[in-house]
Amino acid sequence: MKRQLYLFLTVIALAWSESATAFDVCVDGIYYDLNGKEATVTNNAEPKCYVGKVVIPSEIKYNNVRYRVTAIAPEAFKGCTGLTDVSIPASVKTVGDDAFRHCPLLPVHDMLYYADTYLVGPYECSVTGTFKIKEGTRWIGNGAFNEITCIRSINIPASVESIGTGAFRLCDYLKSVTINGKVEIGQDAFAGTKAICEINIYSDDTPTIKDEEKAFDETVYQKALIHVAPGTGNSYRSTYGWRKFSNLTDDLPLSGIGNVTAPADATVKARYNTRGEALSHPVKGINIIKTAGGKTYKTIVR
C-alpha cells in the first residue's frame, strides 16, 4: 500500500514539475520552446509574468547555440494585464490563437487594439461602422472581430499577410470588404457573415483562401459581387476558393491610371495607396504615384 502511495505521489510530482516548467529556456525574461534551430515565444504557465513593454528579439543564444525566433505560441501573453506593448521582429512568421487575448493595456490606434503588427481586435465600436487598419499590420488575429455587429465595412491594407480563423465570423452587418494585397484568408474567417455583398480586391497576386468550404458563408458565395483588376477574372475563376463565387467580374476602375509601371527615370512627386491616402514611402501592394511631369501611374511594390 505504501509503495502504491509512493508511486502515485511520484507521478503527481513529476506532472507538477512538468507543468511548472512549461518552457525550454528563459532568456532575458522571455520564455521559449526550442525546436531544432528555431525558438517559439511562450510563457511559464503563469502568463501574468509579462509586464510593461516586451521586446522580442529575432534571435537568442542558449548554451552557445543560436536560435531564430520564428513564432509566438497560442496564449503566450494571454491574461497579461500588465503588458503595455510588445515588439515583434520580422523573423516571427506565425502567431498562435489568443496569443494576446485579455491584455487591456496594449496600444490603441483608431479604436483597434494592437500588439505591434498584430491586430488583436476592437477597443470600441466605430460610429460609422468602418474600421481603419493601420498600414504595416501583418496579422488580423483569430476571432479579432468575431460577432462585432457595429462593423459595416473593412479595408485590409496590403501589409496584412493573414486573416485569422474566425476573424470576421458572425459580423451580421458587414457588407463591404476591400483587400489590397496577397493575404491568406483563414478557416471560418467570414463564416456566418451573410450580409457581405461586395468584395473589392486590389492585388497583383490572388489572395489565398485556406478552406473554400468554410471561409465564407454559402449565401456570400452565391450573392456577393467580387470585383478584381481587369484581365484577372479568368485566373480567379479557376483558383481554389474564388472559384466558388458565382458573381466575379474584372471591372475595378483604374481611375484614369494609364500604366502599371512608371518609367525608370520618373521623379516621384507624390505617392498614394488605393484609398487615395498619401504615403510617405513605398508600401507593399499597389501604389499610385504622381510624377514631377504631372503624369499618374499605378505601380506594384513587392
Cα(87)–Cα(73) distance, rounded to whole angstroms? 15
Average pLDDT value for residue range 126-132: 89
- For 16, half-sphere exposure in the C-beta direction (CA atoms, 13 angstrom radius) is 6
DSSP-derived secondary structure letter, 266: P
Average pLDDT value for residue range 37-53: 87
| pLDDT tens digits, 78-106 | 999 999 999 999 999 999 999 999 999 99
| pLDDT tens digits, 177-189 | 999 999 999 999 9
Cα(87)–Cα(58) distance, rounded to whole angstroms? 10
Q: How far is CA 169 from the centre of its chain?
A: 15
Residue 38 pLDDT greater than 60, yes or no: yes
Residue 148 pLDDT greater than 80, yes or no: yes
Please give the grid coordinates belonging to residue 64: 552557445
**How many other C-beta atoms can be found within 10 angstroms of the C-beta atom of residue 234?**
10
Q: What pLDDT does residue 261 have? A: 56
| pLDDT tens digits, 228-272 | 988 889 999 999 999 999 999 988 764 444 444 556 667 888 887
β-strands 30-35, 25-27 pairing? antiparallel
Average pLDDT value for residue range 11-32: 66
* Residue type, position 214, single letter: K
Considering only 110-114, 193-197, 285-289, which range has the smallest mean pLDDT? 285-289
> Do 42 and 80 contact (CB within 8 A), yes or no?
no
Helices (H), 164-212: none
Gyration radius of the chain over CA positions: 23
- Identify the structural domains of the chain with CATH numbers, from first to last: 1-106 (3.80.10.10), 108-252 (3.80.10.10), 256-302 (no CATH)
DSSP-derived secondary structure letter, 243: G
